Amino acid sequence: MVGARVRRGERVELLKQEAAAAAEGKPPVVLVVSDALGETAELVAKAALSQFHNGPVEIRRFAHVKEEAALEEVLELARQRPSVIVHTLVLPELREALRRRAQELQLLQVDVLGPILEAVGSILPVAPRLKPGLVHRMDQDYFRRVEAIEFAVKYDDGKDPRGLDLADVVLVGVSRTSKTPVSMYLAGRLLKVANVPLVPEMAPPPELFRLSPGKVIGLTINPTQLYHIRCERLRAIGLPPEAEYASLRRIMEELDYAERVFGRVGCPVVEVSNKAVEETANQVWELMQRRG
């Protein structure tokens, strides 16, 4: 038994020496392993790497790993350079196999999912299903969400007024009142959202005034805040902040025009000043819920 342990120790030491020689001159790598897509483990790895500024680190993803044999390729790569294996393996036998083999080869491995499964399992009366990829299950809500996002993109910024009749909600407001991000956020909650920009020189589409007022939400903003937002926008695209687009006179003219349109439509108005997109979207959502 003593001789067996010595031989095992010598083998591990030899593997470490071989790995050190192979790793010389190669950049570090994070090996992401999953029995599903591996997106969760990769996001965790990227979040960790964002805290470091010591040069490039490669991330390699191994998805749909369902057998122990597939782990050997990962382990072989891990031996060839400085590495850490980050995994979200659901199946207990695969998690244990990777843990055991990584320990034998003196490799670093981080089990992202295992400890969370155990912790959550300790407070719930049911056992986990242990089915890979459930978080990405393509159920009915998944397809409805994709459809809603595609709708928001297609009918963004007044591109096609035919979408107004098809929408669950229509957002209207002057430029930089968060119409597009609020539309996308609500699309994530399965609402089909179209939005229409209001510009004094351009009449809104006639379809807007034929809609039920309960289907339209106006977005408005404090003129001073809009001034600063537009100045930053101009700087971002390389234009001087003195442009007419960001002048207070122009901003007041646009906001007054928007108020007249809101009154003509008869729609409720949401104030977006100093609000995060999520706050504005939730207020729109609540208005839609109250109006059925």
Q: Where are the domains of the chain?
A: 2-135, 140-290
Specify the CATH number of the domain 2-135. 3.40.50
pTM above 0.85, yes or no: no
Tens-digit pLDDT profile for residues 63-112: 999 899 999 999 999 999 999 999 999 888 999 999 999 999 999 999 99
**CA pseudo-torsion sign 273, 182, 212, 165:** positive
> Is residue 66 within 8 Å of 95, Cβ to Cβ?
no
Look at 231 and 15; give whichever has higher pLDDT. 231
The angle subtended at Cα 51 by Cα 29 and Cα 34, nearest 5°, is 45
Helix (H, G, I), strand (E, B) or coil at 195: strand
* CATH annotation of 140-290: 3.40.50
pLDDT tens digits for range 6-41: 354 555 454 455 555 444 567 899 999 998 888 888
Residue 157: CB atoms within 10 Å: 13
